[in-house]
Chain A
Amino acid sequence: MMGNWATRLSIGFLTLISILSISMIWIGHPNDIHLNGNTNPTSPDIHHILGTDDLGRDIGSRILDGARISLGVGLIAMTISVSIGTIIGLFSGFMGGLTDELIMRVVDFIMGLPTLFIILIIQVILGPSLINAIVVIGATSWMGIARLVRAEILSIRERPYILAARARGFSPWRIAIRHALPNAVSSIIVSGILTMGGAILTESVLSFLGLGVQPPQASWGSMLQHSTDYLYTAPWMAISPGLAITLTVLSLNFIGDTLRERASGGRS
């Protein structure tokens, strides 16, 4: 029950921030630099609700502009990882036997790799860019979903209606997609939403290290990085992007958890 208002707040927060961030495409120039001999970040006031940074940019509008990057990266990376994970999970679960065994060991192996370092290496080799970041994040976060889907399929595939479908001679792919997959959809969605939170965090880390979005485009991670020189003198430069990341990931987690409860509650 407690999850209810938190979830509603979360949905409200994400919706608001999405609408505002999209509207930033048309209004304002969030990344314009204003150097008026002013050599210090200015604290929050009536003109700049969240203050400005050391290059005279309004932090509030950059947070909203950066939201497009963070949410966009999260969404696309999530789509990529859900697609890869679902296909591999479906295939592995349905084939069973040695193939399943092999694929799952490969998944175990990939899960054992230090993902962040692999992402860093790839970004250094291919050069920092947003597209690379998205693809790499998506391509390294599908394993959980693959295991989840496989587990669902394994439990479904011995059920009478699947056996019946087999007996009628339907092709395995038709059975997998038309009959088995729909049963796994709810857990895929839940897992996808949680993955999205993870992807947003990873993007922040990459941008913090200078390997994510490139200027003038802002992202929450790069704003945090920019603030490190001013932690004591202008803490608002760090607090806003930090809060934005925390609240967004928290919201996604709340929504994911509520959906999971609903899904499992519905089944039992």
Chain B
Amino acid sequence: MPKMLKKSLSMICSLAIVLTATFGIGCARKSTGSHGTMNLRLSGEPNLLNPILTTDAYSAQVVGTIFSGMLKVNEKLELEPDLAESYDISPDGKTYIFKLKPNVTWHDGAPFTADDVVFTFNTIIDPKTNTVRRSNYVINGKPIRFTAVDSHTVKAELPEPFAPFLLSAAAEIIPKHLLDNTNINTASFNRNPVGTGPFKFKEWKAGQHIIVVKNPLYYGKPPQLDRIIFKPISDYNAGKVAIIKGDIDEFDINPQDLAEMKKIRHLALYEYDQLQYSFVGFNLKNHHLQDIKVRQAIAYAVDRKAIVDAVLKGHGTVADVPISPVSWAYPTGNAITRYDYAPAKSATLLESAGYKKNTHGIYEKDGSELAFTIIYGQGGKASPKNAEIIQSALGKVGIKLTIVPMEWQSFLRIVNSGKDPKKFDLCMLSWSLSPDPDDYSIWHSSEYPKGFNFIGYSNPKVDALLTRGRTVNNHTQRAQIYAEASALIGHDLPYLFLYYPRTISAVNQRIHGLSEPGPAGLFVRIEGVSAD
């Protein structure tokens, strides 16, 4: 018996050696044969490659290399001219004039003109177009009017001043000469796109790859790479194997894998902040949670620093306000109210609010226990752990929490029900924010019960600031307005802000010319990227 065991063990050993050898050869061959080619992972298969129709991040990733807009968001999240040379805003904030670069051509050689810009925005505004972007160009029910003043000047007339419009004006432009008089929703263009960007579409093999190649006619700095191959790999572990083997050149890793990745010589690691924060939302229509003292008691009971350490392995920062520290409108340090871990304060606050511990050790008032449920959409790695830590922390203070993970669609149905009241106590979620700090749809009282203010937050001061922030065009003034609004919201504690997660990207050392790591990613200037 022991003899047989030995034999099979040695067989397993030799098998393992053969396998590693094969992998080794595969790896070497791949890295020598790919000069001037960058391989990027897509976390899913794109559905369309039309910038005005796409809804998912991975389609947008490909589209971003093929198309360009009048303006683009840079590493600092500021807008800089791209297809436009310059722009002017009228003093009343209602008219925008964009001067376009001359001598820009489409990938098929046709000239790029103001007509293309007007066509793009009018197509988005057209209700027949199947796009989620329309609301960016409709202000209080009235659409923005785009006209071509001459072949290289575009005028946008707004029904009322609306500062966040500039970001919408940065949308990628599609060619009129290929799409006029076609049904945009079903056009073959959507799978065979033609743009003005640094790379031209070459080939799309469903489930295998999308290839884009250098655009020799590009108006900016000439692209360095010969081509980029996008590979849809949805599974995280498959992606991890691919970056280790050298099949892909960039991959966002989970913090748990950091130590393992550091040991791999051909990888460089970059860590940077995202325009994103995770939070637990309090349903402010709940009669317990309406009381700020109860919310404060919950906030003081939870050690958020420990959550960052345990769940994100320290690769994140505790959040106290609804705006990312990388945003230009982030409030100054002393304006922020911080509810740092102090469980002793929780008891004091609850008792001052008239709560008493019952025989089960749970606080109650008028016979109603502080017992809540927390809901979240399944799928993320962090949510279940966050929930368990919060449950344990609240339990120690005397607040009962039941965890209810839900399938995503059911979760969204409750949160977006459009009805008052909504059927949840606490909900856990993350917001990915736009580079513009305007988060009217999340915090303005008119956005409840329909809208993203699903917790029912209402503060007249915040409402006034959010409304004002949309009409002022001065950058400094807007920064102040949104900083003030964020600080007020942070103090009111409508959410228990958890953390700003950081992204850790592993990039193959053979890739050069990455942009400054930041929320816009590493490929903001993809034309400057090269590969050995």
Q: Which residues of A contact B (CB under 8 A)?
A: 31-33, 35, 37-40, 54-56, 124, 127-128, 210, 214-216, 229-230, 232-233
Contacts and interface: CB of A to CB of B under 8 A. Distances in A.
A55 B389 contact: yes
B314 interface: yes
Contacts of A214: 402-405
Interface residues of B, number: 28
B306 A37 contact: yes
A233 B259 contact: yes
Interface of B: 254, 256, 259-260, 303, 306-307, 309-310, 313-314, 378, 381, 384-385, 387-389, 391-393, 395, 402-407
A55 B310 contact: yes
B306 A233 contact: no
A1 B54 CA distance: 69
The 6 closest A-B pairs by CB, nearest first: A35-B306, A33-B392, A39-B309, A215-B388, A39-B313, A229-B256
Interface on chain A toward B: helix, strand, loop, or mixed SS?
loop
B260 A33 contact: no
Contacts of B303: 35
A35 B389 contact: yes
Given A230-B256, A233-B256, A210 B309 contact: no
A56 B306 CA distance: 11
Given A215-B388, A216-B391, A37 B405 contact: no
A127 B423 CA distance: 15
A96 B389 CA distance: 58
Given A32-B392, A39-B309, A128-B405, A215 B387 contact: yes
A211 to B, nearest CB: 9
B310, B389, B406, most chain A CB atoms within 10 A: B310
Given A35-B309, A35-B310, A232 B389 contact: no
B388 A33 contact: yes
Contacts of B310: 35, 38-39, 54-56
A124 B409 CA distance: 11
A230 B5 CA distance: 28
Given A33-B389, A210-B405, 12 more contacts: A33-B388, A37-B306, A38-B309, A38-B310, A55-B310, A56-B310, A214-B405, A215-B391, A229-B256, A229-B381, A230-B256, A233-B259
Contacts of A55: 310, 385, 388-389
Contacts of A33: 388-389, 392-393
Contacts of A229: 254, 256, 381
Contacts of B391: 215-216
Contact of A127 (B256, B309, B389, B404): B404
A119 B469 CA distance: 52
A215 B306 contact: no
Nearest to A233: B256
A38 B259 CA distance: 16
B309 A215 contact: no
Contacts of A39: 309-310, 313-314
A54 B388 CA distance: 12
B373 to A, nearest CB: 11
A179 B303 CA distance: 66
6 contacts: A33-B389, A38-B310, A39-B309, A215-B391, A215-B403, A232-B260
Contacts of A32: 392
Contacts of B393: 33
Contacts of B378: 210
Contacts of B404: 127, 214
A13 B388 CA distance: 31
B385 to A, nearest CB: 7
A267 to B, nearest CB: 34
B260, B306, B404, most chain A CB atoms within 10 A: B306
A7 to B, nearest CB: 20
Contacts of B309: 35, 37-39
A127 B402 CA distance: 13
A119 B310 CA distance: 33
A128 B303 CA distance: 28
Nearest to A225: B384
A56 B392 CA distance: 12
B388 A216 contact: yes
Contacts of B392: 31-33, 216
Contacts of B406: 127
B452 to A, nearest CB: 25
A56, A210, A215, A232, most chain B CB atoms within 10 A: A215
A150 B371 CA distance: 50
Contacts of B389: 33, 35, 55
A55 B385 CA distance: 8
A133 B11 CA distance: 42
B92 to A, nearest CB: 54
Nearest to B385: A55
B22 to A, nearest CB: 21
Nearest to B379: A210
B412 to A, nearest CB: 15
Contacts of A232: 260
Given A215-B391, A216-B392, A229-B256, A124 B314 contact: no
A236 to B, nearest CB: 15
A150 to B, nearest CB: 39
